[in-house]
Structure 1
Amino acid sequence: EPAHIDPCSGYRFYDTGQVDHAHIIRRFRSLGMSIPDIKALLSADDTAARTDIITTHLEQMEAQLQQTRDTVSALREMLSPVRTPTDVTSRHEPALAVWSVSATIDISGIDDWFAASLRTLHRAVAMAAGAPTAVVPGGLYDRALFLEQRGSATMFVEAPPSADPPEGIRAEVLPRAEFAVLTHPGGHDGIDRSYAALGIYVNEHLISSQGPIREHYLGGTPTDPARFTATEICWPIFSTTAPR
């Protein structure tokens, strides 16, 4: 605060006793600290309170730095050409009895729907008698969801044996199908690049088939079911060879 404000001109005057505070303000402003935080810092009566304020600001700056790094990495990927992957495999998936949750959603809401549906299925399976200890969830996505920003989405898990699904969850059988499979490291971060690479490969080397894109989510844990070590992208194909 200024020591005096001229009532006529509005000029702000400071005295020499405020020099130290001025240096502190300038220093922390140069480090990106907000005015309210600097005011709280100068008003703090003890070292612990000041340390907490500075530590909080440091954590905010670290998070901002990581966000900037992620943005730079994503921009670099956008500038680099999509490479045709060499590790695409063909796979026959047999018919599978599952418990599922489905909805028609906008692409903007897919993350919230995904997390909520996954939690619902994990809770249901955990309460079922004879449920497997390891659950590998999967997803089915209508291509309109990506092309038109709105479409059908289904989350599923393998059905526990001899158990009926609770209310709100459907029991169904996924039909057998042939897929071109590409494994994307991690969850959905950057998965659009892997989708593009797999799509190019299928169009150049295979025959694409109708039907939803299928995903399998690997490496999730009961404590953090929405974090995966890998995501299998399964693109439906028309196969001319018999399954092995």
Structure 2
Amino acid sequence: MEYRTVRERSAIGIREVVDRQDVASWWQGALGELCGFVAARGLRCTGPIGGLFASELLQDERGEALVFVPVDGDARPVGRIDPVVVPGAELAVAIHRGPLQTIDLTYGDLCVYAARHEIGVDGPLREFYLRGPLDVTDEHDWVTEVGWPIFRSNG
């Protein structure tokens, strides 16, 4: 577990309100669409692909999800793809290794940690895909950084 300040960044993304049971298939389709767009337009990625997920998605089984690719330059909206600004945040971060079907265990650990230390704040949960389906074929080799929004004092 570590703390991290993540700065605001420009990206392209696909945002939608989804049911929790559909999030994995939605994520896979959005990721493929974004990566195809980046390749077709010759855009340069400026950081890891990521996702923002409203806490309602975990709590109420339905909520807003955003998959994004940080890029340089301007990209005009096309279909479901829009330019987005991914907001900065203070995060408690943990590494999840393996398929996304078991990522809820890492989220659970982060939730308990934030609650125990009374540092959790409202805001979307974050994922950064450090090694994923575009990098390796076996999903057990995936590495995802999971971020929980927190309050962190500088003093």
TM-score by length of 2: 0.88
Cα contact 1:101–1:156 (8 A) shared by 2: yes
**Alpha-carbon distance between aligned partners in 1 of 2:135 and 2:52, rounded to the nearest angstrom:** 24
Report the aligned-residue RMSD: 2.2
Report the CA distance shift for 1:103/1:130 in structure 2 as closer, same or farther (over 3 A). closer
Residues 220 and 192 from structure 1, CA distance in 2 versus in 1: closer, same or farther, beyond 3 angstroms? closer
Whole-Å separation in 2 of the counterparts to 1:196 and 1:171: 31
Q: Secondary structure at the match of 2:101?
A: coil
Which of 93, 96, 114 is residue 6 of structure 2 equivalent to?
A: 93
Written as runs of structure 1 = structure 2, the 5 A alignment for 1:36-51 is none
Match of 1:187 in 2: 99
Report the counterpart of residue 73 of structure 2 in structure 1.
Answer: 162
Which residue is equivalent to 1:236? 149
> Which of 116, 129, 143 matches 2:29?
116
Corresponding position of 1:200: 112
Structure whose residues are more often helix by fraction: 1
Gaps spanning 5+ residues in structure 1: where? Answer: 1-87
**Residue ranges of structure 2 left out of the alignment (5+ in a row):** none
Cα distance in 2, alignment partners of residues 104 and 98 from structure 1? 19
Structure 2 CA distance for aligned equivalents of residues 238 and 180 of structure 1: 9
Residue by residue, what CA displacement relative to the aligned partner does 1:92-122 show, whole Å, maximum 9, x if unpaired?
0011111110111111111110110000110
% identity of equivalent residues: 31
Answer 1 or 2: which has greater strand percent. Answer: 2
Is the CA contact 2:136–2:142 (under 8 Å) kept in the aligned structure 1? no
Q: Larger Rg: 1 or 2?
A: 1
Within 5 Å, give how 1:31-110 maps onto structure 2. Answer: 88-110=1-23
CA change 1:195–1:221 in 2 (3 A) is closer
Quote the residue 1:214 is aligned against.
126
SS at match of 2:42: coil
Tell me, yes or no, if the aligned pair for 2:10 and 2:70 is still in contact at 8 Å: yes
Query: 2:86 corresponds to which residue?
Result: 174
Count of residues in Structure 1 that have an aligned counterpart in Structure 2: 153
